[in-house]
Structure 1
């Protein structure tokens, strides 16, 4: 309690409710001034007033969300996250390659998956207007495909479309600089160094994808056929390959004619790796070929100033022990998956 003659510090809720505290009473300078102050203070403290009450401001604050998409040739995954990149919900959709039907299946998959994700999170779909989206898409190597897809009728506050290698890099290195190779059914390489983007590969099964499981799987089938013909040396792996594809060269030839996709050749990689771990000589030759392709990309990355590289993709994961032995500290494990890389880029692009 302050002494007589000092300013009132009772901090009463309103002047009208001022309690005796021994201080001189508060005196308005005039009746008009008194009326103004009393009215203003009463309005300020009223429960339903429009004054700056922290609870009412918080309730009116519009939340911002981030949506990431990992669009693949056979399916796509969607993740909805809050401002802190905490996952709120996920959904899955169908094939999402931008080169298929001008991206129409990809558009439907993303829209359907977005509705599902918002419903799972219990968030009104109208709040897509406050959501920043990032899509990492198969078939997104060409800028024209990305631009056309971004220009579609989306409900989001902002949409950025990337090649799928970009979200792999962002996920692998937490949005920071670094290099990444995709080694799965297909293959590609990309690095971000001092903010500069470098990309190689990713040109598809027919003219590229040297590191891919599809290319190595095709080499395995060729080797198995040649070995069965007696042109080159065979092994238990080549015998198992012919057996897996029908048991005879006629059956293997028939198998190869039935609209074989890259994924059909890539599906042979688990068997190849199993035989490699058993010491099969043909498997070792093929893995040596694979690693020579990876060597080329490692040298390419280092020439551009990259100091670390991660690998993603099912086949790449199986190769990690070999790469760690071969490349030492240059090879690192991915921090997060490509889908989360899309969410990271969505937030980074808010102010871009």
Structure 2
């Protein structure tokens, strides 16, 4: 008796993850969200979160990895795949799946956004990455890690806000700002607290400051507005670089992803704005598309 195929799509980033479950007909059976899954944050923990989240999604669908009537195939789009040792360690880990295909979260997002067709995507979440699929040609711009890259991202906005807070506290910045006052209050108006936190914070922690920036944009805080304008310029530069590297410099349709993208889009330049289209699917569907493309089920 042949087993029924079940397809699992995983989208994992530095802030959160999402899992969907589909049958062979593409029908959605279950979905759930989980914690951060980013290879740079640790392979062991990433597998722990992935498996726990997959099991929750399967339970919603009335399924279990222990059910021998099914073959479970998983496509994962995870942050940090560019770190080769982490990538190799992850795929070498023993797992319960009939097939595992691991691609970057950027690739999965782009593939899903255009339903497998050629196109570009810019993800503006905790990190920033521009990605384009044009036939067999893959282009990546930015997304090389924080703090040395990922300009324009949520983590970058948080970092820049903290930098300005220090300048405001020691008198280098004389402009009064509700944003900076809110950040100061967040740390109990204690210099040692903000210094200690800043010296140990990773991208996820810096991104926790970003909601304060976004809140003050709505209140028309000049410093918050300058920060979002600076972020938009960085994203414009990502979009322009993708076009320069495209065959015949043909500007392909581009989608925006990520929790910060909605706030940045109004501040983008016209060249990028006119290319933006609505995405067709998210990265979980893209991960399943990558899986089926690779293993030909």
Q: Name the TM tier (shorter chain).
A: 0.7 to 0.9
Separation of aligned partners in 2, 1:128 and 1:345 = 24
Taking a change above 3 Å as real, the CA distance of residues 156 and 263 of structure 1, as seen in their structure-2 partners, is closer
| More strand per residue | 2
Q: Which structure's CA Rg is the greater one?
A: 1
- The 8 Å contact of residues 119 and 253 in structure 2, kept in 1 or not, is answered as yes
- Is 1:206 matched up with 2:151? no
Give the direction of change, closer, same or farther, for the CA distance of 1:286–1:115 in structure 2 (3 Å limit): closer
Alpha-carbon separation, structure 2, partners of 1:107 and 1:264? 21
2:6–2:70 Cα contact (<8 Å) kept: no
Task: Check if 1:278 corresponds to 2:219.
Answer: yes
Pick aligned residue for 1:167 from 70, 90, 108: 108
Are 2:73 and 1:73 equivalent residues in the alignment? no
Write the deviation string for residues 183-202 of structure 1: whole angstroms up to 9, x where unpaired: 11222221101331111222
Q: 1:328 aligns with which of 252, 273, 283?
A: 273
Q: What is the CA-CA distance between 1:342 and the residue it aligns to?
A: 1.6
Residue 25 (structure 2) aligned to one of 69, 79, 84:
84
Structure 1 CA distance for aligned equivalents of residues 106 and 59 of structure 2:
29
Q: Report what 1:311 is aligned to.
A: 256
What is aligned with 1:181? 122
Q: Partners of 1:284 and 1:112 in 2: how far apart?
A: 40
Contact 2:120 2:131 in 1 (8 A): yes
Determine if contact 2:111/2:133 at 8 Å carries over to the other structure. Answer: no
Distance 1:230 1:174, change over 3 A: same
Query: Would the aligned equivalents of 1:211 and 1:294 in 2 still touch at CA under 8 Å?
Result: yes
| Residues 179, 310 of structure 1: 8 Å contact kept | yes
Work out whether residues 67 and 80 of structure 1, in 8 Å CA contact, stay in contact via their aligned partners in 2. yes
Rounded Cα–Cα distance in structure 1 between residues aligned with 2:47 and 2:145: 22
Relative to structure 1, the CA distance from residue 207 to residue 336 in structure 2 (aligned partners, 3 Å threshold; closer, same or farther) is same
Contact 1:225 1:242 in 2 (8 A): no
Once structures 1 and 2 are overlaid, which stretch shifts more, 289-298 or 151-160? 151-160
Q: Do 1:169 and 1:178's aligned partners in 2 also have CA atoms closer than 8 Å?
A: yes
Could you tell me which residue of structure 2 aligns to residue 45 of structure 1?
Answer: none
1:225 to 161, 166, 175: 166
Mapping for residues 91-130 of structure 1, pairs under 5 Å: 91-101=32-42, 103-123=43-63, 125=65, 126-127=67-68, 130=71
Query: Displacement of 1:228 after TM fit?
Result: 3.4
Shift of the 241–111 alpha-carbon distance from structure 1 to 2, 3 Å rule, reads closer
Instruction: Give unmatched runs, 5+ long, in structure 1.
Output: 1-59
Using the alignment, how far apart are the partners of 2:181 and 2:148 within structure 1? 28
Q: CA contact under 8 A between 1:185 and 1:212: conserved in structure 2?
A: yes
Return the alpha-carbon distance in structure 1 between the equivalents of residues 123 and 185 of structure 2.
Answer: 30
